[in-house]
Structure 1
Amino acid sequence: MEYDDGGDAPEDQVIRELHVTNETAPMRSPRAAAEYQAVTADAKPFVRRLAKETEKKWKKEAGTRKAEETIRRTERTSAKWNIAVCLLLLFGIAVYNLVLERPVKSMKENRMLAKMPSFSTEDYLSGKYTSGVELYYNDTVPHRDDFKEMTQVIRKHMGLSGNAVLIGDLPAAQQPDPDTPAETTAPPVTTVEGAVTAQTLTTVSAAVTTTAPPADDEPEREGEMGDNGVLIVNKRGIMLFGGWETMGENYAHILSRFKESAPDINMYSMVIPTVCSFYTPEEFQHLITSEKANIDYINKTLVGVTPIDVYGALEKHKDEPIFMRTDHHWSSLGAFYACEAFSAEARVPFARIEEYDRKSKDDYVGTLYTFSNNIILKENPEEFFWYIPRAHFTTTFYNNSFGNPREGDYFMNIDNVAPVSYYMVYMAGDDHIVRVQTDVHNGRRLCIIKDSYGNALAPWLTSSFEEIYIIDMRYFQLNAISFLREHGMTDVLFAMNSFSANGDNGAKVEKIRTQ
């Protein structure tokens, strides 16, 4: 077959030749015609199938392009709605925060919330003012307690509340700086304040029928709780002690100077270990340092002051409820064993626990829940219990300058106390001086200088001393040495937990000695 040099392309010539051949084939040979028809018949189904598949492919591609365009259009619409909803939420939250009244106090956290700082050029330039403003707005969100509780419920249903939860920061591996004096090594502390609704106290002794002072709306917990975090495990809250062995040296020196100022008065030191010493599981021991080593160092550093081995007394009874599960305080039973050890050292009589009436209130959830807001503690409340002496005694309350005396009851009516503040059943809080007069006649007068752990001690000593004075070093406004001499004290008991002794509260003992 030959091709023209000009005109059509070679392939066009081939197609034309084949077409001519096919048309003339039947006229040349019947056999060829038959073969042509057979081939044509065989090709028709293939051609039809190919045509259908091609059409289907075209439709699919067209549908894909249409679907992709629909998706893009939907995504653009969704993005616009998302932006609109986010802007609306931001606007709504802004209006919510600006219009609604901001809370001043958190009942669930037992503390006063941050206040708007006062403006000054110096604070503004240093950044202190803007930090204070940020803290104020973050801390005083309207209905903050409800939002925090909602968060805990959501976390629970998301499976985020396991058997062990750490609230706050891990304790640092604290070691003393050899270049830093002991007086400057006190750990940072947080303040947790309580709230109650009671206005009066009820009678527990036949001789006491008058009204007690109003309960403090905001009893301080300053210095009694560290900022190393709280471990929630086995339905218990555990404050994590992070101090080192020699950290309490300054506290020991402060008490020793107290003794030097009043050498004729018997003085005792009761540094009370906290729950972490007895109930921290083995797998979490690395989170804490030894309170016992710290307390032992304080005790051996004291000069002229008799240490009370509270650690040993409590350890013997750690299988009993000597500490609260949901609160950072010890229980009345723990205070009983501590007073038993103290009375032996002080050589005074001590009444058996059978000579007291046990009272209790169910469904207590205390300061460790309000500090952590952990749902595990909330859903596992505990019994709050206390013991009332059968021995006769009277209680008088004074302000912190020992003025405005008012007789009342040492124990509040717990039905008038907010559920998160049941520990205030003891002497209605901390912000006053309390004087307890008993029927004992042995010439012994005791002054307890304490944090709130000391509030549970006095009832156990009503058969041991003629008079008991209770002062809180955080509020006391007089010179302590003059006060002790003026009221004829024979004995002084310094009673506070390990966080207080190693922190700012220990330093406040020195302040009341010299002010």
Structure 2
Amino acid sequence: MNKNMIISTIATLLIAGCASTDLEKESVSSIKGGKQEEVSKNTIAEKSGSIITLGDRAVEIFYGNEGNAERYTNAISSTKQALGDQVEVYNMVVPSSVEFALPQKYQNMSKSQKPVIDKIYDNLDSKVKTVDAYKALEKHKNEYIYFNTDHHWTSLGAYYAYEQFAKEAGFQAKSLNEFKKYSKKDFLGTLYTQTQDTKLKENADVVDYYKIPVDYDVFRYEKGKEDTPVSSTLYADYVDGVNAYSLFLHGDFPMIKIQNNDSDNGKKLVVVKESYGNAFVPFLIPHYDEIYVVDSRYYNSSLKKLVNEQEVKEVLFINNIFAANTEKIVKTIEEIQ
């Protein structure tokens, strides 16, 4: 814990007579080196702005926004209506780590995400297929599916969501042991950057990623050069430390095209995503001839035009719960239709 946080904690305890709802002692669990471990019985849950630290792990508080969630629902529904019955549209809203990390006595520190996700799914156009990532992640909530020091999920969390998508899309998911795993150590992510908490620094993350066992080519379309494909790779193996999450797809670009040279099944997919999608997309490669990865925050063209020109029959929207409740991001989804 940094010095300012220590002072803030002591002051709060004195003022509240040690009865603050934000600062209570509770036994919680943490992930160290990808393994679940019990931490001290005296661990204190501390709130610092929009972040809660639980010992040597941090999570981001979810407040939600009903109006933005409704706009998100309407944007997905209107996209389905615009694309018509010939294109299957899927929607996946991914819960964040705070949903599963908080012990029971701290539940009131963050809004429950499941009712928000359920409402989005319930109000979608009936022809949109929903992917229940929540159920898949909840089942594995004690595994290393989210980072300790960053707001993203891990590749393992993305894998469990991929299994759920496979069920909805009608193909057999690959077993995790069919992929060769690589790792980057000493990753300190956004939550550490914001708090500078020394306990988080001592519990740095490991970024695992999996090499896909097919022959494929990757092309990215950069900002301001959306008409010019640049030969790329799936992973930026050279990144390290604080930039380690950007090894997935080399980060965020308006569009990335992945061509599977070992497949001839005629299947093409567009994935509309924010950064959570980066760790998810690689698992899809064995199942499609072509995948077009569109980041709605940077894409300046028409989704319908892309789908029609490339004769795509499947579109997947994958967004974390914060993105689906954030006006700025929801607006970008509305604008690419």
Shift of 1:163: 3.1
Other-structure match for 2:44: 163
| Alignment correspondent of 2:58 | 237
Deviations 1:303-359 (A, max 9, x none): 021110000011111111111111100000011010111011011232111110111
How far apart, in 1, do the equivalents of 2:302 and 2:4 lie? 52
Q: Of 307, 330, 337, which aligns to 1:506?
A: 330
Is it true that 1:494 corresponds to 2:317 in the alignment?
A: yes
Q: Output the amino acid matched with 1:164.
A: A
Q: CA deviation at 1:418?
A: 4.8
TM-score (norm 1): 0.56
Does residue 355 in structure 1 map to residue 178 in structure 2?
yes
Task: Tell me, in whole angstroms, the C-alpha distance in 2 between the residues paired with 1:502 and 1:389.
Answer: 32
Counterpart of 1:172? none
Over 3 Å counting, the alpha-carbon distance change for 1:411 and 1:155 in structure 2 is same
Distance apart, 1:154 and its partner CA: 7.0
Q: Paired residue for 1:435?
A: 257
Matched residue, 2:146: 323
Provide TM-score, normalisation by structure 2: 0.84
Of 402-411 and 244-253, deviating more is 244-253
Deviations 1:39-88 (A, max 9, x none): xxxxxxxxxxxxxxxxxxxxxxxxxxxxxxxxxxxxxxxxxxxxxxxxxx
- Amino acid corresponding to residue 231 of structure 2 in structure 1: E
Match of 1:340 among 163, 167, 182: 163
Match of 1:460 among 278, 283, 286: 283
Deviations 1:210-252 (A, max 9, x none): xxxxxxxxxxxxxxxxxxx010003211111112667512211
| Counterpart contact for 2:296–2:329, Cα < 8 Å | yes
Per-residue CA deviation, residues 401-448 of structure 1 (Å, 9 max, x unaligned), is 6322121211002xx325112110011111331111112222110111
**Match in the other structure for 2:90:** 268
- Which letter does structure 2 place at the counterpart of 1:371? Q
Aligned CA-pair RMSD = 2.1
Contact preservation (8 Å) 2:184, 2:240: no
Question: Structure 2: 5+ residue runs without aligned partners?
Answer: 11-22, 24-42
* CA–CA separation in structure 2 for the residues paired with 1:368 and 1:360: 20
Alignment CA distance shift 1:454-1:286 (3 Å): same
Question: How is 1:53-452 mapped onto 2 (pairs within 5 angstroms)?
Answer: 152-153=2-3, 163-168=44-49, 229-243=50-64, 248-263=69-84, 264-303=86-125, 304-400=127-223, 402-413=226-237, 416-438=238-260, 439-452=262-275
| Runs of 4+ residues over 6 Å off in structure 1 | none
Q: Is the 8 A contact 2:45 2:53 kept in 1?
A: yes
**CA gap 1:502/1:154 in 2 versus in 1, 3 angstroms:** closer
Distance (Å, rounded) in 2 between the aligned partners of 1:244 and 1:290: 12
Structure richer in strand, relative to its length: 2
The C-alpha deviation readout for 1:93-122, integer Å capped at 9, x for no partner, is: xxxxxxxxxxxxxxxxxxxxxxxxxxxxxx
Q: Whole-Å Cα distance in 1 between the matches of residues 236 and 106 of structure 2? A: 38
Question: Contact between 1:278 and 1:318, CA under 8 Å: does it hold in 2?
Answer: yes
TM-aligned CA distance change 1:388 to 1:302, over 3 Å: same
SS at match of 2:2: helix
Indicate the SS of the match to 2:174: coil
CA contact (8 A) 1:308 1:341 kept: yes
Tell me by how many angstroms 1:257 deviates.
0.4
SS, match of residue 462 in structure 1: helix
| Offset, 1:158 | 10
SS at match of 1:428: coil
Unaligned runs of 5+ in 1: 1-150, 169-228
Larger-gyration structure (1/2): 1
* Partner Cα distance (1:484, 1:469) in 2: 9
CA contact (8 A) 2:65 2:325 kept: no
Identity of aligned residues (%): 33
Aligned to 1:113: none
Structure 2 Cα separation of the partners of residues 491 and 158 of structure 1: 51
Supply the AA of the counterpart residue of 2:232. Answer: G
SS of match in other structure, 1:238:
strand
Contact 1:448 1:469 in 2 (8 A): yes
- AA of the residue aligned to 1:166: K
State how far apart, in whole Å, the 2-side matches of 1:245 and 1:155 are.
32
Change (3 A) 1:250 1:432: closer
Distance 1:164 1:460 in 2: 35
Query: Which structure has more helix as a fraction of its residues?
Result: 1
What CA distance in whole angstroms lies between the structure 2 residues aligned with 1:384 and 1:272?
19
